[in-house]
């Protein structure tokens, strides 16, 4: 049973910039929470504060109720996997994994047993005598994960662990890591700027921006019901159309859509897959480009004032460049003053 | 740094070859002459090659008590200086590489200062101070003066070596439970090891060959091998004594050069100088 609690944590960098701004989060036992945000959103700083490599300016971090806010990293029950794997290249795989156990003065046969067990767990049984530099990028990252897991930390911290790997390997490894995390049942905090990673691995996603939380929710909720235009634009592809509402109708150039909110400016959010197109001349928009992906097609549309809109269609062959279409969204959300003011489901 | 090698058939660079040949002659020829002298029993004018080769002067040189005592002295001195220098400089280098403290940059460049003046003038000034401290003619006096000479190498090169160590590696070691001291010992030092070894070697060799300080501070009680060689060359009518000692003195520098290549190749040396 390990619960991580972060309460009102603020980190000021020299010069006064707020890397993290009164951030709070509770990670439940066995849960995998993803910190997702663009670079500079403070997610890595937050993770490093949990690991003990940065000191919060104010706030409280506890694990199972124990205050660890100002504990040095070597005393904390946390295990961190670094983006650059940070394996010790002057040691072989076994020694990398055994180092922490030796510091705990475990007997040699116990160390051997645990190292071999964890190597099996990450699918690298028998690799103990390999030099770190002889391993592929994916294997190195697995050893780095094993190095943390072998010490059975209460909280596992992952700092963009797949960022240096190629796309194919990244997808395979994130499934593996998710499997291992669930098998071990370890409470995990995961930092990434890749939404695919967050959506496919996390129990909950924390979308961060400028050191603050934009939204904390399950991945499907974050995708379907983004609470701010930033989240809407950051997760998946989203058409964000700025316009005005008057008398229950949203208007941008030649495009209009009924929207039951008070008059004023608004940002309309429509997923490309929730936007139906009806051929019409002259139509509200013109087809700018048709891209056929085989399974589906993606259309780039232009409103008369130049606003770009993307739409996903099943049969891209029906459309051609320059053709006029009318837009018929099946589901929309609307934002004003950085807050959601309307949402309809398909 | 490493540009891809492109094979292009180029015209033969005769000027370059000429330069290479001339340089080789200028560098190699004196070495050749000294080497030949060391293994010569008889070589009289006007013969181009010696009349008689042999190891006669090796036996004679190595039979001299002052030669052996100076070899022992040089080795003891170089070892002492290198060890002391490492004890003083490595922690300092680590501080320069990893910590931020007021006056860091000025202090860092101050190590160049000792090398920016005519060395002999500096030595004479120091000798004046040493005279009052009764350090002239003592082993520790020579150790002290040579320590000053090693500071530049032993600070600048290890600083580059420490800076090249991935901080994430050190953090990962902290993460699994190592104290800062343990991290330095088990991670930082081994990672920086090869480059630091080269710095140690350079400082050993530099001390081994240093003559001005050793002579000015040490003479006549403390006599190192190079100081002895100079007195042989100056005072002995027989050329071979000096030649034999010169050849003897090549050995450590040759070994050092083999190792130093590593540092120069890895670029850490250049990095140490801010490249």
DSSP three-state, residue A283: coil
pLDDT at B259 over 60: yes
C-alpha dihedral, A295 to A296 to A297 to A303, nearest 10°: -170
pLDDT band at B273 (very low <50, low <70, confident <90, very high): very low
| Pairwise CB contact (< 8 Å): B177 & A148 | no
pLDDT tens column, B216-257: 787 777 888 888 878 877 877 777 777 788 888 887 777 777
Map out the domains of chain A as residue ranges: 4-231, 238-343
Chosen CATH of A238-343 out of 2.30.30.230, 2.40.50.140, 3.30.420.40, 3.30.160.250: 2.40.50.140
pLDDT of B113 reads 74
Block residue for tokens 């540009």: B3
Please state the domain extents for chain B.
Answer: 14-54, 65-272
The size of the A-B interface in CB pairs under 8 A is 66
* Three-state SS at A143: helix
For A54-72, what is the mean pLDDT? Answer: 91
Q: Are A150 and A100 in contact (CB under 8 A)?
A: yes
Higher-pLDDT residue of B71, B172? B172
Q: What is the pLDDT of residue A240?
A: 92
Taking only residues 66 to 85 of chain A, the set having a beta carbon closer than 8 angstroms to any beta carbon of chain B reads 72-75, 78-80, 82-84
pLDDT band of B1, cuts 50, 70, 90? very low
Nearest by CB to A74, from B166, B174, B186: name it.
Answer: B174
**CATH number of B65-272: 1.10.3720.10, 1.20.1050.10, 1.10.1780.10, 1.10.540.10?**
1.10.3720.10
Superfamily of chain region A4-231: P-loop containing nucleotide triphosphate hydrolases (3.40.50.300)
Q: Is B115 on the interface with A (CB under 8 A)?
A: no
- Contact call for A87 and B173, based on CB within 8 A: no
Interface touch B172/A82, C-beta < 8 Å? yes
Sorting pLDDT into bands at 50, 70 and 90, what band is A346? low
Judged by average pLDDT, the poorest of A52-56, B88-92, B102-106, B114-118 is: B114-118
Closest to B177 in 3D by CA, of A59, A71, A41: A71
Please report the pLDDT score of residue B267 as a whole number.
52
What is the predicted pLDDT for the residue at B249? 81
User: What is the predicted pLDDT for the residue at A80?
Assistant: 92
Using a pLDDT cut of 70, give the percent of chain B over it: 90
Would the pLDDT of A204 be above 90?
Answer: yes
Cα distance from A147 to chain B (closest Cα, Å)? 8
Say if CB A264 and CB A339 are below 8 A apart: no
Q: Give the pLDDT confidence score for residue B2 in this predicted structure.
A: 44
The pLDDT tens digits of the residues spanning B155-204 come to 888 888 888 888 899 999 999 999 988 998 999 888 888 788 888 888 88
Please, what is the average pLDDT of chain B?
80
3-state SS, residue A12: strand
Placement of tokens 């029906």 in the chain: A318
The predicted-structure confidence for A89-124, as pLDDT tens digits, reads as follows: 888 999 999 999 999 999 999 999 999 988 988 888
Q: Which of residues 83-112 of A touch B (CB under 8 A)?
A: 83-84, 86-90, 99-100, 103-104
DSSP H helices, A185-278, are: 195-201, 219-224, 229-234
Are residues B177 and A51, on separate chains, in Cβ contact within 8 Å?
Answer: no
Residues contacting A27, CB < 8 A, separation 6+: A3, A4, A5, A33, A155, A187, A188, A189
Which residue, chain included where needed, has tokens 């090796």?
A: B58
In A53-135, at which residue ranges do the beta strands (DSSP E only) sit? Answer: 58-63, 66-67, 78-81
Burial of B194 (0-12, 13-18, 19+ CB in 10 A): middle
pLDDT tens digits, one per residue of B118-128: 778 888 888 88
Count other Cβ atoms within 10 Å, centred on residue A254.
17
Inter-chain touch A82–B193, beta carbons under 8 Å:
no
CA-CA distances (angstroms) from residue A156 to A50, A90, A195?
10, 25, 20
Cross-chain residue pair A86–B172, CB shorter than 8 Å? yes
ipTM of the predicted structure? 0.82
pLDDT at B271 over 60: no
Question: Please, where are the H alpha helices in A36-92?
Answer: 43-51
Residue B40 token pair: 């010569």
Q: Which residue of A has its CA nearest to B170?
A: A86
């Amino acid at each position: 049973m390990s619960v991580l609690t972060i309460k009102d944590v603020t980190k000021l960098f020299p010069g006064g910039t707020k890397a993290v701004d009164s951030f709070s989060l509770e990670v439940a036992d066995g849960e995998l929470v993803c910190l997702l945000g663009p670079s500079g959103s403070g997610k890595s700083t937050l993770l490093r504060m949990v690991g003990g490599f940065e000191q919060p300016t104010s706030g409280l971090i506890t694990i199972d109720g124990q205050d660890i806010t100002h504990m040095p990293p070597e005393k904390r029950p946390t295990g961190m996997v670094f983006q650059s794997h940070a394996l010790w290249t002057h040691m072989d795989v076994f020694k990398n994994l055994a180092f922490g156990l030796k510091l705990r003065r475990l007997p040699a046969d116990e160390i051997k047993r645990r190292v071999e067990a964890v190597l099996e767990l990450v699918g690298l049984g028998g690799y103990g005598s390999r030099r770190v530099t002889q391993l592929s990028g994916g294997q190195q990252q697995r050893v780095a994960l094993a190095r943390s897991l072998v010490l059975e930390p209460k909280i596992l911290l992952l700092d963009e662990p797949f960022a240096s790997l190629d796309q194919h390997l990244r997808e395979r490894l994130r499934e593996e890591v998710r499997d291992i995390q669930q098998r071990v049942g370890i409470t995990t905090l995961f930092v990434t700027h890749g939404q695919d990673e967050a959506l496919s691995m996390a129990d909950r996603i924390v979308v961060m921006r400028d050191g603050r939380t934009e939204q904390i929710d399950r991945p499907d909720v974050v995708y379907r019901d983004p609470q701010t235009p930033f989240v809407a634009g950051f997760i998946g592809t989203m058409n964000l159309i700025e316009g005005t509402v008057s008398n229950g109708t949203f208007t941008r150039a030649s495009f209009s859509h009924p929207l039951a909110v008070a008059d004023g400016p608004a940002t309309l959010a429509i997923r490309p897959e929730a936007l139906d197109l009806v051929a019409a001349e002259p139509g509200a928009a013109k087809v700018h480009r048709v891209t056929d992906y085989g399974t589906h097609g993606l259309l780039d549309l232009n409103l008369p004032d130049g606003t770009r809109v993307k739409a996903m269609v099943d049969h891209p062959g029906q459309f051609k460049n320059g053709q006029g279409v009318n837009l018929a969204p099946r589901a929309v959300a609307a934002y004003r003053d950085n807050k959601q003011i309307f949402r309809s489901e398909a | 740094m490493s540009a891809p090698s492109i094979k292009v058939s180029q015209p033969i660079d005769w000027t370059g070859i000429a330069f290479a040949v001339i340089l080789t002659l200028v560098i190699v020829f004196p070495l050749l002459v000294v080497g030949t002298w060391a293994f010569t029993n008889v070589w009289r004018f006007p013969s181009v090659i010696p009349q008689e080769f042999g190891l006669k002067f090796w036996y004679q040189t190595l039979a001299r008590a002052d030669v052996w005592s100076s070899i022992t002295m040089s080795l003891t001195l170089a070892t002492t200086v290198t060890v002391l220098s490492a004890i003083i400089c490595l922690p300092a280098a680590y501080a320069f590489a990893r910590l931020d403290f007021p006056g860091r940059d000025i202090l860092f460049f101050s190590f160049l200062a000792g090398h920016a003046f005519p060395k002999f003038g500096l030595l004479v000034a120091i000798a004046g101070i040493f005279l009052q401290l009764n350090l002239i003619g003592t082993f520790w006096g020579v150790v002290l003066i040579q320590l000053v000479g090693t500071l530049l190498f032993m600070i600048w090169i290890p600083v580059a070596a420490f800076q090249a160590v991935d901080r994430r590696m050190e953090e990962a070691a902290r993460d699994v439970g190592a104290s800062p001291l343990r991290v330095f010992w088990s991670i930082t030092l081994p990672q920086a090891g090869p480059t630091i070894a080269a710095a140690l070697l350079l400082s050993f060799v530099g001390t081994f060959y240093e003559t001005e300080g050793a002579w000015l501070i040490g003479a006549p009680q403390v006599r190192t091998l190079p100081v002895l060689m100079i007195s042989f060359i100056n005072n002995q009518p027989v050329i071979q004594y000096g030649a034999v000692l010169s050849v003897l003195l090549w050995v450590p520098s040759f070994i050092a050069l083999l190792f130093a290549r590593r540092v120069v190749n890895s670029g850490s040396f250049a990095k140490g100088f801010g490249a």
